[in-house]
Structure 1
């Protein structure tokens, strides 16, 4: 698992699994956002990751975003999550790039 920090409050990663939650919590993250739809080939169902995250005391939100088709609604919902979840926040998708793109779109919409 490679975590790429964007700033003190936000980072991205590629696909994570329940086995990664301990390391994520140890890194100090307080919230996780899944931007990968469960229907994508190779995706680990978000509910398995969510269960492990909540057991570790982390907040978890599922905001599936289709790669290459980020909508204004996706940007608005991510903006709301970034404003309301305890930081630092780790967002993940297949490679982390979709999360980075979504984060940039949120920043540009402000």
Structure 2
């Protein structure tokens, strides 16, 4: 799993597997955010599977899917709120990590 640390509070990555959740938690992340819509690709784990695994590990979760500019504009405030209110580092993922990084940059521009 390749991840990109954007700051001390936010790391982004490409699609994760259910089996990655324990390693994410063990790395110190307290919140898991998905910015990818379910069903975007065949074989992609759905959010309910990932969320269930994260909640079993005691992690907070947030599903903020986006696939276009309008989606990004509608979820950016919630993304910023989730990051701000997280008790520790946030791990966000989408297909490649790019959408998560875009949301992070938008949130920073509006703060």
Using structure 2 for the length normalisation, give the TM-score: 0.91
Q: Which piece of structure 1 moves more, 3-12 or 40-49? A: 40-49
- Over aligned residues, Cα RMSD in angstroms? 1.4
Contact 1:10 1:87 survives alignment (8 Å): no
Could you say which residue in structure 2 is the equivalent of 1:82?
83
Segments ≥4 residues shifted beyond 6 Å? none
Using structure 1 for the length normalisation, give the TM-score: 0.92
Q: Which piece of structure 1 moves more, 68-77 or 33-42? A: 68-77
Could you say which residue in structure 1 is the equivalent of 2:100?
99
Contact 2:72 2:103 survives alignment (8 Å): no
1:11-69 per-residue CA deviation (whole Å, 9 max, x = no partner) reads 00100111001110111111100000003124310010001011111111111111455
Structure 1 unaligned blocks of 5 or more: none
Relative distance call for 1:86 and 1:14 in structure 2 (3 A) is same
Could you say which residue in structure 2 is the equivalent of 1:9?
9
Could you say which residue in structure 2 is the equivalent of 1:33?
33
